[in-house]
């Protein structure tokens, strides 16, 4: 009898858990209309392991103010997004990344390193969750930061950090490996498209480092960025492959983010969404889209 009751409770628990997570579509679909995706520009998405919390960027119409927003999912709907306490809009806080355990939120910001200084270039920062609240922002210093710009950090389960850096006058994706409980000097991530080196940005690393999703402009394309994937083959990154029409559009597609199980891709797109198509020369605001990634990657391999 006790076993039967335990089984019923377990089934009910699993059923309730499923209801707190949205199913990812087979083709990219506008996500969180009216709550996450609204008329303002949104980009750079990161979710917790249960996919019932999301952190993302929302900006003013002219993109002069950039804040990190937070929303929760319950009863089959998303809450209204609110800005995090430390992200008031005074500084440009962008590119949030939540660690797998949910205890640390990394982001990029032009906030000054010392109180009283003026805003500078972008650095990597983080906050830690203490008693359910986020700490004041912490600058981890070198090697995650330098005297140049660092943006869009993404971190594998083993702690290895991938991000874009302009150090040494060479803008590109680098990795700082987490070894012996500390970050090591950065290594460049060389990426190629049709056998030629290509600049890519917005790195998004799989939790096990088996693949890397990036935004890049194909020289043979229409000039807007698409999302591409590169696989880690025994420590060497394979040639980039376009994620295809189930993900990309004729508009700018960028700022990828993965679910913690690596099966769902969130990204930003400037295709007509909440706001319809714009007149030529007017940049669309952009919204957040969601797609089931596993089948797409299987088709590309």
pLDDT in tens, 12-34: 444 444 445 678 899 999 999 99
Asked if residue 3 has pLDDT above 70, the reply is no
Domain residues of the chain, as ranges?
25-300
Asked if residue 275 has pLDDT above 80, the reply is yes
Architecture of domain 25-300: 5 Propeller (2.115)
Mean pLDDT over residues 170-195, rounded?
Answer: 97
**Which residue in 149, 211, 143 sits closest to 178, CA to CA?**
143
* SS3 assignment, position 24: coil
What is the bridge-based pairing of β-strands 241-242 and 226-233?
Answer: antiparallel
The whole-angstrom separation of Cα 147 and Cα 93 is 18
In tens, the pLDDT along 212-262 reads 999 999 999 999 999 999 999 999 999 999 999 999 999 999 999 999 999
Question: Hey, which residues does 46 pair with through a beta bridge?
Answer: 55
**pTM value?**
0.92
The whole-angstrom separation of Cα 161 and Cα 192 is 21
Q: Tell me, what's the pLDDT at 20?
A: 59
């Amino acid at each position: 009898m006790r076993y039967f009751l335990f089984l019923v409770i377990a089934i009910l628990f699993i059923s309730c858990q499923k209801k707190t997570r949205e199913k990812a579509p087979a083709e990219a679909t506008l996500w969180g209309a009216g709550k996450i995706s609204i008329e303002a520009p949104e980009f750079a998405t990161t979710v917790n392991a249960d996919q019932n919390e999301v952190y993302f960027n929302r900006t003013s119409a002219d993109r002069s103010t950039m804040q990190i927003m937070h929303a929760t999912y319950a009863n089959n709907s998303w809450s209204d997004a609110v800005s995090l306490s430390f992200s008031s809009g005074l500084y440009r806080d962008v590119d949030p990344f939540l660690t797998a355990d949910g205890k640390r939120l990394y982001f990029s910001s032009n906030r000054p390193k010392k109180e009283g200084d003026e805003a500078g270039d972008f650095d990597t920062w983080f906050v830690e969750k203490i008693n359910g609240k986020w700490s004041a922002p912490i600058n981890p210093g070198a090697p995650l930061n330098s005297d140049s710009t660092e943006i869009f950090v993404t971190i594998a389960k083993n702690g290895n950090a991938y991000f874009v850096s302009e150090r040494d006058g060479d803008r590109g994706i680098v990795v700082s490996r987490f070894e012996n409980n500390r970050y090591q000097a950065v290594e460049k991530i060389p990426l190629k498209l049709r056998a030629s080196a290509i600049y890519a940005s917005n790195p998004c690393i799989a939790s096990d480092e088996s693949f890397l999703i990036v935004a890049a402009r194909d020289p043979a394309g229409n000039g807007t960025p698409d999302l591409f994937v590169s696989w880690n083959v025994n420590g060497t990154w394979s040639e980039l492959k376009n994620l295809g029409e189930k993900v990309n559009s004729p508009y700018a597609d960028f700022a990828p983010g993965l679910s913690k199980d690596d099966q769902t891709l969130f990204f930003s797109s400037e295709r007509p969404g909440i706001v319809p198509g714009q007149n030529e020369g007017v940049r669309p605001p952009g919204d957040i889209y969601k797609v089931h990634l596993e089948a797409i990657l299987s088709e590309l391999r």
